[in-house]
Amino acid sequence: MKRLSVNIDHIGTLRQARQEKMPDPVYAAVLAELAGADGITCHLRGDRRHIQERDLDLLRKIIKTELNLEMAATPEMLKIALKVQPDIVTLVPERADELTTEGGLDLIKNYSRIKSIAESIKQNKIKLSVFIEADEKQVDYAKKLNADQIELNINSYCQKVAQRKEILRKIKTIAAYAQRKNLIVHCGHGLDYNNIKPILTVKEISGFSIGFSIIARAVLIGLGKAVSEMKDIITNIDGGVINEIW
């Protein structure tokens, strides 16, 4: 079975844009689960630009599928992960002024820094995933870190349309290599309703972490209803008492 983990970060982005209480990423997670999501992903960033610790605490209590915490391999994040106990932690690289994650985590270059964080995660019975480029050596190091899962960075496949076939071949080769090493293979970053289709032919990839395209589409397909609700209130209610709408 192929699994979809819905990344709810950008519900948080919208909320934080006005420092409001709504839209609440926790509500969004519940809706995603009710619609069939197999997991919920969120990235707690050092700058807290979208997901807050309060969200993570509530998500842990409320969601019924797999909670995947994306985080940088830092002592601060490790402490939070061990407290919250997500089902799985995905280690990602993080740069303060990046718009979004810019590439896979280089496990070779950062091995000594990541090793003890990875060990603590595993010792605390949290599954470990690493977000990496499609590269054999990175897969070898994921294994060396005792990871359960890898998430292949699919972003260059999504962006470089002219090179898609070639990149897809490489992804398939690396996914098969990782599977032979008993790693669960997921992928993500930049997937949308169209570019995902060829990726579904890679049978070794069993999970997809998707955020932006789903949230962007939700805004558009939900906007009509939101506007008509407001129009209805303005047109039909003449200063009377109305139920509050959340």
Structure tokens at 204: 């070794």
Neighbouring residues of 150: CB distance < 8 A, sequence distance ≥ 6: 129, 130, 131, 132, 138, 139, 142, 178, 183, 184, 185, 186
86 makes contact with ligand PXP (CB under 6 A) = no
Q: Positive or negative, the Cα torsion across 162, 165, 170, 176?
A: positive
Neighbouring residues of 149: CB distance < 8 A, sequence distance ≥ 6: 88, 90, 127, 128, 129, 130, 183, 184, 185, 186, 207
* Site size for ligand PXP (CB under 6 A): 19
| Least distance between ligand PXP and beta carbon 11 (Å) | 12
| Least distance between ligand PXP and beta carbon 228 (Å) | 28
13-21, 54-62, 166-174, 182-190 -> range binding ligand PXP (CB under 6 A): 182-190
Residues 116-175 that bind ligand PXP (CB under 6 A): 131, 151
Binder to ligand PXP among 128, 188, 205, 218 (CB under 6 A)?
A: 188
| Least distance between ligand PXP and beta carbon 246 (Å) | 25
Q: Which member of 70, 94, 151, 204 is catalytic? A: 70
207 makes contact with ligand PXP (CB under 6 A) = no
- Catalytic site includes residue 10: no
Binder to ligand PXP among 51, 77, 132, 210 (CB under 6 A)?
A: 210
- Catalytic site includes residue 189: yes
Question: Cβ(105)–Cβ(79) under 8 Å?
Answer: no
DSSP run (H or E) holding 122: helix 111-123
Binder to ligand PXP among 4, 6, 7, 147 (CB under 6 A)?
A: 7
Neighbours of 147 (CB within 10 A): 27
- Catalytic site includes residue 70: yes
| Burial status of residue 122 (CB atoms within 10 A of its CB: 0-12, 13-18, 19 or more) | middle
Catalytic annotation, residues: 43, 70, 189
Which residues of this protein are in contact with ligand PXP, per CB under 6 A?
A: 7, 9, 43, 70, 90, 92, 100-101, 131, 151, 188-191, 209-213
